[in-house]
Chain A
Amino acid sequence: METRQQAGGAQGDASPDPLLQVDGVTLAFGGVKALTGVSFGVQPGSITAVIGPNGAGKTSLFNTISGFYRPTAGQIRFQGEDITGVPAPQRARRGLGRSFQNIALFRGMTVLDNIKLGRHAHLRSNVLDALFYLGRARREEAALRADIEERIIDFLEIDHIRHAPVAALPYGLQKRVEMARALAMQPKILMLDEPVAGMNREETEDMARFILDVREEWGVTVLMVEHDMGMVMDLSDYVVVLNFGQVIAQGTPAAVQADPEVIRAYLGSGDVGDLRARLHGGHAAAPVLQGAV
């Protein structure tokens, strides 16, 4: 309770309207409730993380926000507008870019083709345009587009593989290409589903740097689902903890880390006081939490 009020003070009342507001979202598959009354806001310019044990409903939440699932109850607002009934492709066009937990790239295409497809949503052209490629305005637009693509490729350091087929790339690079494609959509909010899952330490650090830079250099708000607790606590401004489809805590990383509910969810019940002490003990605590995830 304490933490929630803290969060409200820091994130809710004082600050401007959230970019993305999830409001009482419930998602049921038949009799199984994947999400129950989930509410939280994502502030513009923030890095917000959703964490929780396996099966807590994090990916269901992501799929609901990006429009793959229609919530049974509740509302999703983006830039103040209710988008609960808006289909997924439309949401992408409005500025919800995302990556997937199990990498969804266009296999059989090159890295560059994949990135270019990120711009697909914003293209307006017909058959004749495409065949004859007329008009200065179009050429200028193409130049601008190429410029953005170049910046993204530079930024994510994937220049050396731009013509490589994505299917042949190692896992870590595929994740990066997926992020590049999402960025090419010039999203207002970038949703990353487990951006560092299965990565080694070095790849994880690279990705963490990219996520921070996305916010700093591109001004894109980030919402991510992540298991790597060390990374979540280092990067995030705001953390939402899900367990069994419900929000059990939200607030700053420090506040969430101290929440007994969270500790219980991750480590099972036990001597909470002892664990809290170890968590507060600083860096040594992180592996404990990580190991349990």
Chain B
Amino acid sequence: MDWAYLFEISLTGIAGGGLYALAALAFVMVYKATRVVNIAIGELLMVGAYLFFTFASMFALPLWIAIPAAVIGTGLLGALIERTMIRPLLGEPPISVFMVTVGLASVLVGLVEMIWTADQRRLIDFMPTRPIVIGDAFLAPKVAWGAVVAVVFIAAVLLVFRFWRGGVALRATASDQAAAYSVGINVPRVFSLAWVVSAMIAAVSGIIVGSIGGISSSMGVFGLSVLVVVIVGGLDSVLGALVGGLLIGLIEALAGAYLGGEYKLLATFIVLVAVLLVRPYGLFGTHEIERL
């Protein structure tokens, strides 16, 4: 057993898992507040990456404008989606809203192909390129910096939502809507807020994922792994998103290194099945089961 190799693979896996965790946070944000299973999370991520591509490569804007512009643009899209597709379905069965997000995913893919074509593109390199060496282990710089950004972002989001009034309102709404109304919380606005913040987080992870692996109209597949993460972690648990992200990242990396790349998905889905057998509501999820 080559311990140094194992260490290196594990580091890469955990770093990749940080990205899963960030995207999973975007998913959990919407699910927690509005009980909507947003299948289109991977596609939102893609839109964020394409917007960044547009601002940074096509318009050649400096990074400090291009990144916020892409993030805000995706946030606006989130608000639009919530207002036009999700809110009119308030009170409908969860399956209806779920199907709308399924449709939304393919609409977004179609839009991206219409606007930017289906070609693969590369985002401009903006992350440091010096390799990161921890002990004897080598870590690809993009992956490492991507993970750092993800962790900083997750921490910031958690802090803001712990102490900011809007975050308190969001947690209260997630807990009991009638009670939230009765203490003067504007529940529809909280729904909007959840979608906007979720879309913005998705955009950030889209930019990172895109700069590591390039962008294309099939980038939304990343969302599938994110779904595995949130199901393993528990749909409504922030902690679950974090732990699940790291766990799935680690398993993918280990399976890829020791079994071969084609076993990556197999390994994660075996974990998914195993977790669901033992804890049907995910590792940290609320003990109630959503039937779709």
What CA separation (Å) do A59 and B183 show in the bound complex?
18
Partner of B163, one of A66, A120, A122, A130: A130
Among the listed stretches B184-192, B208-216, B268-276, which one makes contact with chain A, having 4 or more residues with CB under 8 Å of it? Answer: B184-192
Q: How far is the CB of A139 from chain B (nearest CB, A)?
A: 15
Among the listed stretches B20-28, B111-119, B132-140, B174-182, which one makes contact with chain A, having 4 or more residues with CB under 8 Å of it? Answer: B174-182
B172, CB-defined interface residue at 8 Å: yes
Query: By the criterion CB–CB under 8 Å, are A130 and B184 in contact?
Result: no
Evaluate whether A120 and B181 lie within 8 angstroms (CB atoms) in the complex, with A125-B165, A130-B164, A130-B165 already known.
Answer: no
What CA separation (Å) do A152 and B164 show in the bound complex?
24
Among the listed stretches A18-26, A99-107, A140-148, A261-269, which one makes contact with chain B, having 4 or more residues with CB under 8 Å of it? Answer: A99-107
Evaluate whether A120 and B185 lie within 8 angstroms (CB atoms) in the complex, with A104-B176, A131-B159 already known.
Answer: yes
Query: By the criterion CB–CB under 8 Å, are B165 and A100 in contact?
Result: no
- Which residues of chain A come closer than 8 Å to B176, judged between CB atoms? 104-107
Query: By the criterion CB–CB under 8 Å, are B183 and A120 in contact?
Result: yes
- Which residues of chain A come closer than 8 Å to B183, judged between CB atoms? 92, 117-118, 120-121, 181, 185
Query: By the criterion CB–CB under 8 Å, are A93 and B179 in contact?
Result: no
Query: By the criterion CB–CB under 8 Å, are A117 and B168 in contact?
Result: yes
Most buried by A among B171, B179, B184: B184
Secondary structure at the B interface, as helix, strand, loop or mixed, is: helix
Partner of A120, one of B159, B165, B175: B165
What CA separation (Å) do A181 and B185 show in the bound complex?
13
- Which residues of chain A come closer than 8 Å to B187, judged between CB atoms? 89
What CA separation (Å) do A89 and B166 show in the bound complex?
14
- Which residues of chain A come closer than 8 Å to B181, judged between CB atoms? 66-68, 88-89, 92
- Which residues of chain B come closer than 8 Å to A181, judged between CB atoms? 179, 183
B160, CB-defined interface residue at 8 Å: yes
What CA separation (Å) do A125 and B169 show in the bound complex?
13
Within 8 A of B (CB), among A62-92: 66-68, 87-90, 92
A123, CB-defined interface residue at 8 Å: yes
Within 8 A of B (CB), among A96-140: 97-98, 100, 104-109, 117-118, 120-123, 125-127, 130-131
- Which residues of chain A come closer than 8 Å to B179, judged between CB atoms? 100, 104-106, 181
| Nearest-neighbor residue (CB-CB) of B167 within chain A | A130
What CA separation (Å) do A97 and B179 show in the bound complex?
11
Evaluate whether A100 and B164 lie within 8 angstroms (CB atoms) in the complex, with A89-B184, A92-B183 already known.
Answer: no
Query: By the criterion CB–CB under 8 Å, are B165 and A123 in contact?
Result: yes
| Nearest-neighbor residue (CB-CB) of A132 within chain B | B163
A182, CB-defined interface residue at 8 Å: yes
Q: How far is the CB of B206 from chain A (nearest CB, A)?
A: 23
| Nearest-neighbor residue (CB-CB) of B176 within chain A | A104
- Which residues of chain A come closer than 8 Å to B166, judged between CB atoms? 127
Query: By the criterion CB–CB under 8 Å, are B184 and A121 in contact?
Result: yes
- Which residues of chain A come closer than 8 Å to B172, judged between CB atoms? 106, 117, 120
| Nearest-neighbor residue (CB-CB) of B190 within chain A | A89
- Which residues of chain B come closer than 8 Å to A130, judged between CB atoms? 160, 163-165
What CA separation (Å) do A28 and B171 show in the bound complex?
33
A interface residues, tally (CB under 8 Å): 32
Interface size class of B (residues with CB under 8 A): 20 to 34
What CA separation (Å) do A122 and B169 show in the bound complex?
13
Q: How far is the CB of B285 from chain A (nearest CB, A)?
A: 13
Per-position binary interface string of chain A over residues 148-187, scored 1 when its CB falls under 8 Å from any chain B CB and 0 otherwise: 0000000000000000000000000000000001100100
- Which residues of chain B come closer than 8 Å to A67, judged between CB atoms? 181
Q: How far is the CB of A143 from chain B (nearest CB, A)?
A: 18
Per-position binary interface string of chain B over residues 237-261, scored 1 when its CB falls under 8 Å from any chain A CB and 0 otherwise: 0000000000000000000000000
- Which residues of chain B come closer than 8 Å to A97, judged between CB atoms? 182
Query: By the criterion CB–CB under 8 Å, are B163 and A92 in contact?
Result: no
- Which residues of chain A come closer than 8 Å to B163, judged between CB atoms? 130-131
What CA separation (Å) do A117 and B168 show in the bound complex?
8
- Which residues of chain B come closer than 8 Å to A117, judged between CB atoms? 168, 172, 183
Query: By the criterion CB–CB under 8 Å, are A89 and B164 in contact?
Result: no
Most buried by A among B176, B179, B185: B179
Q: How far is the CB of A61 from chain B (nearest CB, A)?
A: 16
Evaluate whether A89 and B175 lie within 8 angstroms (CB atoms) in the complex, with A117-B168, A123-B165 already known.
Answer: no
- Which residues of chain B come closer than 8 Å to A93, judged between CB atoms? 184
| Nearest-neighbor residue (CB-CB) of A102 within chain B | B178
Most buried by B among A68, A92, A100, A181: A92
Query: By the criterion CB–CB under 8 Å, are B168 and A100 in contact?
Result: no
- Which residues of chain B come closer than 8 Å to A88, judged between CB atoms? 181-182
Query: By the criterion CB–CB under 8 Å, are A127 and B182 in contact?
Result: no
What CA separation (Å) do A245 and B169 show in the bound complex?
35
B-contacting residues of A (Cβ < 8 Å)? 66-68, 87-90, 92-93, 97-98, 100, 104-109, 117-118, 120-123, 125-127, 130-131, 181-182, 185
Q: A87-B186, A89-B184, A185-B184 are in contact. List 4 more A-B contacts (CB 8 A).
A: A92-B183, A120-B169, A121-B183, A125-B164
- Pairs of residues from A and B, 8 with the lowest C-beta to C-beta distance, nearest first: A121-B184, A92-B184, A104-B179, A106-B175, A130-B163, A104-B178, A93-B184, A88-B181
What are 13 A-B interface contacts by the 8 Å CB criterion?
A66-B182, A92-B181, A92-B183, A100-B178, A106-B171, A106-B176, A107-B176, A118-B183, A120-B184, A121-B184, A126-B164, A131-B159, A181-B183
